[in-house]
Amino acid sequence: MKPEPANVSVHARTPGLKAGDVECVVTVPTFKRPEQLLATLASLREQATGRRVAVIVIENEAERREGAKAAAPLFEAGAIDGLVIIAHKRGNCCAYNAGWEMALATFGGFRHLLVIDDDELAPPDWLETMCATAEMLDADIVGGPQRPVFASASHEKWGRHPVFSPPYHETGLVPALYSSGNLAIGRDVLEAMERPFLDLRFNFMGGGDSDFLSRAKAKGFPLAWCAEAPVDEAVPARRIEPDWIRARALRNGVISTLVEKKKRAGERLGPQLVVAKSLALLAASPLRGFLRLVETGSPSIAMYPVYVGLGRVLAEFGYANEQYRQPDKN
């Protein structure tokens, strides 16, 4: 077993854990959602698979530790195999990095690392379907849909909005993935990628996962999509408010620019090409928005490309929408 990662401590561990037998590790970052975390863990306990699975819960609230305290009895009683750890440095990227480093340090032979968030529920065939898809397509990273579950049936129309809709609808190899909310990563990817896995510049903005996936693709790791392995993501009512939708769209534009800047960092005209693309997307966004309005009848969907284009340009002036600075409002 390798030394524990820095700024991480173990809060609970399954007695007699046979770490060397584990084939799949599921990491679950959590922050101030103890009840939702328990629901996520309950869905993981119901996974129908013959693979030996361990779970790592990453508590990112190092003071009250409500999630860690809620989850610990399940691990200590052997109801779930794995660990509950504390990531003492706060932030989205810090939590993911801590969990992935702990997986490598603890489970010497795992093949697949899966990621699910503490506001998501996995159907019983989720883990097996994700792993089988990776093996069938010979893909090193597989993403899956995050199916929105709205607080009210009257909100379900928002499922068409680009903020909530999946980037793909069919299983197969894909050119890019954008989110870690439903993800399977091969061990060889983690061993090959530079540390920290997620760039801390994205720590409170999000997008560290998109950047990681972009860099993995650039290293030659094949990416795939598994349409048959959705997770259900709880969407609170505040996330359909115009201010939140607008902020998320602007943030997506900023992330797009920052990720592309890193991708083109070694190119002679890389920065200029990023600026040119951002200006072109902003210039084209009113027409694209109008076409979406005609297609959907939704002003919010129509404005999405406008806000993304604006966010891309604002990123050139240092604008950053760090929604995770105030997670209670996210």
CATH number at residue 207: 3.90.550.10
Residue 1, pLDDT score:
58
Instruction: Kindly report, residue by residue over 302-327, the tens digit of the pLDDT.
Output: 999 999 999 989 988 887 777 666 66
Residue pair 71/12 in contact by the 8 Å Cβ criterion:
yes
Domain boundary among 237, 264, 299: 237
Residues 54, 89 within the same domain: yes
Residue 230, pLDDT score:
97
Residue 123, pLDDT score:
98
Query: One-letter amino acid identity for 263?
Result: K
Residue 323, pLDDT score:
67
Residue 2 counted as domain residue: no
Residue 21, pLDDT score:
94
Residue 153, pLDDT score:
84
Residues 216, 269 within the same domain: no
- In this structure, what token pair is assigned to residue 299? 């002003």
User: Rounded to 5 degrees, what angle do the CA atoms 286, 291, 296 make?
Assistant: 120
Cα–chain-centroid distance for residue 243?
A: 22
Q: What is the pTM of this model?
A: 0.92
- Between the two ends of the chain, the Cα-to-Cα distance in Å is 37
Domain boundaries, position 277: 242-329
My answer on whether omega of the bond before 196 falls inside 30° of 0, hence cis, is yes
Strands across the sheet with 141-143, in order? 8-13, 82-87, 53-59, 24-30, 112-116, 182-186, 141-143, 223-225, 172-174
**Where does residue 259 rank: exposed (0-12), middle (13-18), buried (19+ CB within 10 A)?**
buried
Residues 125, 233 within the same domain: yes
Residues 109, 230 within the same domain: yes
Residues 129, 181 within the same domain: yes
Closest CA to 52 of 72, 29, 81: 81
Query: One-letter amino acid identity for 168?
Result: Y
Query: One-letter amino acid identity for 96?
Result: Y
Query: One-letter amino acid identity for 188?
Result: D
3-state class (DSSP) for residue 195: coil
Instruction: Kindly report, residue by residue over 165-175, the tens digit of the pLDDT.
Output: 999 999 999 99
3-state class (DSSP) for residue 320: coil
What is the distance between the alpha carbons of residues 289 and 189, in angstroms, rounded to a whole number? 38
Question: In which residue ranges of the chain is pLDDT below 50?
Answer: none
